[in-house]
Amino acid sequence: MRQVVLDTETTGLEPDQGHRVVEIGCVEIVNRRVTDHHLHLYLNPDRDSDPDALRIHGLTTEFLSEHPRFPEIADQLASFVKDAEVIIHNAAFDVKFLSAELERASLPEFPTLCAEITDSLLVAREMFPGKRNNLDALCERFGISHAHRTLHGALLDAELLGEVWLAMTRGQDSLLGDGLDGAVGPEGGASSAQSGFDASGLAVVSVSEQDLQAHEAYLDELDKAVGGQSLWRRLGLGSDRV
């Protein structure tokens, strides 16, 4: 399964008011693993950013004037998202801007370029109703460092959102690999990837005598703490069961 996490920065809030995309960042995820394949583009919008937008992304008109205009990179973007599930936080915002840019270039709307679009903000709201679900809040909730996010940047935000998305959907993880957990075949049984799994290549780790002694010492401390036999002892989980 191929997914693309996408983010944009813009000159303002409404493409209908002439605002444009100034930065696009895309990060690729294949089988729930982030790859080193990404797309990062700065764009010349042929206009100034609103002061509020400039404070958010810090991309000046002078800097952006040295970069290509959207029609010059449209094919590159279309190729990157082709056949992928595109994950966007607050997708309605980015999609309306990208579709407006594509329309100016006489190209189809953005949703037609990819397999599907998933709004991670809507998913987060379902998981955490009534809580803050912006990117910073989700990073904090899942223990993802975002201290370096002093300004918004499309690629940086896409990278952070990729980490957040994998954390939000971690229920799919398993010993067999992130992409295989819960997989079923067409008849409802285990998928061929699971049923054909060969465990003979897994390493067998032996417990040393030193490890056993350390385990017993730890259980002794537990016994003292509870004033009798700890649950581990009562369940027969001493060093002879390790």
Q: Are residues 55 and 142 both part of a single domain? A: yes
Give the structural domain span for 229: 209-241
CA atoms of 4 and 81, how far apart (whole Å): 7
Any domain includes 189: no
Any catalytic annotation for residue 57? no
Neighbours of 191 (CB within 10 A): 15
Please identify which of the residues 67, 146, 152, 215 carries the catalytic annotation: 152
Would you list the DSSP string of 81-123?
Answer: HTTSEEEETTHHHHHHHHHHHHHHTT---GGGGSSEEEEHHHH
At 134, which CATH number? 3.30.420.10
**Tell me: the pLDDT tens digits for 83-123?**
999 999 999 999 999 999 999 999 999 999 999 999 999 99
* Dihedral of alpha carbons 77, 81, 87, 93, sign: positive
Q: Are residues 224 and 151 both part of a single domain? A: no
Any domain includes 183: no
Neighbours of 173 (CB within 10 A): 15
Any domain includes 201: no
Number of domains into which the chain is organized: 2
pLDDT at residue 153 in the model: 86
pLDDT bin (cut points 50, 70, 90) of residue 242 is: very low
Q: Quote the percentage of the chain above a pLDDT of 90.
A: 64
CA atoms of 143 and 140, how far apart (whole Å): 5
Any domain includes 163: yes
pLDDT at residue 203 in the model: 57
Q: Are residues 67 and 154 both part of a single domain? A: yes
CA atoms of 24 and 158, how far apart (whole Å): 9
| Amino acid, res. 69 | R
| Predicted confidence (pLDDT) at residue 33 exceeds the cutoff of 60 | yes
Any domain includes 55: yes
Of the ranges 40-49, 94-103, 163-172, which one carries the lowest mean pLDDT score? 163-172
